[in-house]
């Protein structure tokens, strides 16, 4: 599912041409070469380093179906309705690596996973995990090629120190007041909703503002409002456009941050049940990103704003879930394998461009296509050095560096 398919590559790989088979043009491996363990090379392919290849590790992109429409009776039964909708929307062909949080974090007493909700196919995740492991055992690639592309060292789950965990959560929680006060944050670009503000976006900003003023008297209003908004999103999910889908995932991330990381609200239990919903919606959004174009986007700058907001949204979806496991599992960051290969724009300062002219001056002379300007999360971590000044870091870069480099450079934790 976490695949990156080049939009510019047109010619089949040498292996598929020789075998006279159709090539799905996956990079760095097409599906056929990946399964058979063949050396996958493309004609006229640009020379790339091993580190460059890790930016867009190719996994098969499964066929998704939109989450089915769910009718919700009212706010009093919203949690139960959401559980049913979550369980019914899960497809058995989703990349098990993207969904590994459900396998690893499910607790038999919590009732937070779809299988605990009485789904007759409740063991689908374990079955797919076993199938995936068996597929990897059948791989016959050379050891150096496996290490270079499939199993880089940074993929291993790791443990965060308590200062790293607290600093990561502090940075995540700061996203809510940013959105409430400015209408934008590190994964919602200020120009993303400049032309059209969807109801989902407006609701999210309004509830973020309500959260900043919450007290004992309006706490129930905040909780019921969040549940009602999530219920409404589920009801309309089958008709979402790509832009509406992005807004829904962004809103759900904010709602999860509010409920997961503020113990005074006592909403963690209901939020945990929606972790599966967040990862399913994110998986569908990531799939659609490679197959659909956003409507209403006219200029190259608007296209980049949308694409980069989507890439950052996917990353933050995983980042927030990973941060919660570090909080509840003694610092265990079990989603590092997913985070390590998610791409964002290499030039982080481009996010703060005043407009299309300034953005064009930064990006166009250096990179021919947008995908050439991408870098993986793991590369961001690898390029950090102790001689760099923390004060000059981009806020998003600093937030990403805290969990992976904060242990050996305490300056990042301040």
* Beta bridge partner(s), residue 343: 376
Instruction: Give the pLDDT of the chain (414 residues) as one tens digit per residue.
Output: 444 444 444 578 888 888 888 888 776 677 788 777 787 887 764 444 433 433 343 343 433 333 444 444 444 444 455 455 444 444 333 443 444 333 333 443 333 333 333 343 334 344 434 544 444 444 333 444 444 444 444 456 789 999 999 999 999 999 999 999 999 999 999 999 999 999 999 999 999 999 999 999 999 999 999 999 999 999 999 999 999 999 999 999 999 999 999 999 999 999 999 999 999 999 999 999 999 988 888 888 899 999 999 999 999 999 999 999 999 999 999 999 899 989 999 989 999 987 888 887 775 555 556 777 899 999 999 999 989 999 989 999 999 999 999 999 999 998
How would you class 43 by CB atoms within 10 Å of its CB: exposed for 0-12, middle for 13-18, buried for 19 or more? Answer: exposed
**pLDDT of res. 302:** 92
Taking only Cα atoms into account, the Rg of the chain, rounded to an integer number of angstroms, comes to: 21
pLDDT digit string (tens) for 355-399? 888 887 775 555 556 777 899 999 999 999 989 999 989 999 999
Place of tokens 């760095």: 28
Quick check: helix, strand or coil at residue 393?
A: coil
**Closest to 276 (Cα-Cα) out of 102, 121, 109, 116:** 102
**pLDDT of res. 32:** 80
The reported pTM is: 0.68
Q: ω before 51 within 30° of 0 (cis)?
A: no
* Backbone dihedral region for residue 82 (phi beyond 0: left; psi -120 to 50: alpha; all else: beta): alpha
């Amino acid at each position: 599912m976490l695949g990156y398919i080049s939009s510019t590559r047109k010619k089949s790989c040498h292996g598929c041409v020789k075998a006279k088979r159709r090539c799905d043009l996956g990079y760095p491996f097409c599906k056929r070469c990946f399964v058979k363990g063949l050396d996958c090379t493309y004609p006229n392919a640009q020379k790339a380093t091993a580190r460059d290849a890790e930016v867009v590790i190719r996994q098969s992109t499964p066929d998704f179906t939109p989450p089915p429409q769910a009718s919700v009776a009212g706010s009093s039964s919203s949690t139960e309705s959401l559980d049913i909708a979550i369980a019914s929307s899960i497809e058995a062909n989703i990349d098990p690596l993207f969904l590994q949080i459900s396998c690893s974090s499910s607790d038999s007493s919590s009732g937070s996973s779809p299988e605990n909700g009485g789904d007759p196919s409740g063991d689908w995740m374990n079955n797919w995990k076993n199938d995936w492991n068996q597929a990897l055992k059948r791989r016959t690639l050379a050891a150096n090629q496996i290490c270079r592309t499939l199993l880089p060292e940074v993929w291993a789950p790791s443990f965060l120190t308590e200062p790293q965990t607290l600093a990561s959560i502090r940075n995540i929680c700061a996203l809510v007041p940013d959105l409430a006060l400015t209408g934008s944050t590190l994964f919602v670009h200020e120009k993303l909703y400049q032309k059209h503000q969807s109801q989902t976006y407006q609701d999210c900003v309004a509830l973020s503002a309500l959260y900043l003023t919450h007290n004992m008297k309006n706490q129930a209003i905040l909780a019921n409002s969040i549940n009602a908004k999530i219920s409404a999103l589920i009801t309309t999910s089958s008709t979402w456009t790509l832009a509406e889908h992005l807004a829904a995932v962004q809103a759900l991330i904010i709602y999860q941050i509010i409920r997961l990381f503020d113990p005074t609200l006592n909403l963690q239990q209901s939020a945990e049940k929606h972790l599966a919903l967040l990862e399913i919606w994110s998986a569908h959004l990531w799939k659609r990103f490679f197959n659909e174009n956003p409507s209403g986007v006219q200029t190259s700058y608007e296209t980049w704003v949308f694409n980069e907001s989507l890439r950052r949204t996917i990353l933050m979806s995983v980042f927030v879930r990973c941060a919660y496991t570090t909080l509840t599992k003694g610092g265990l960051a079990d989603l590092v394998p997913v985070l390590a290969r998610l791409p964002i724009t290499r030039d982080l300062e481009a996010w703060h461009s005043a407009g299309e002219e300034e953005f064009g001056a930064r990006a166009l002379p250096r990179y021919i296509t947008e995908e050439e300007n991408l870098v993986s999360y793991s590369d961001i971590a690898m390029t950090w050095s102790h001689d760099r000044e923390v004060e000059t870091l981009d806020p998003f870069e600093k937030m990403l560096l805290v969990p992976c480099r904060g242990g050996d450079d305490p300056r990042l934790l301040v």
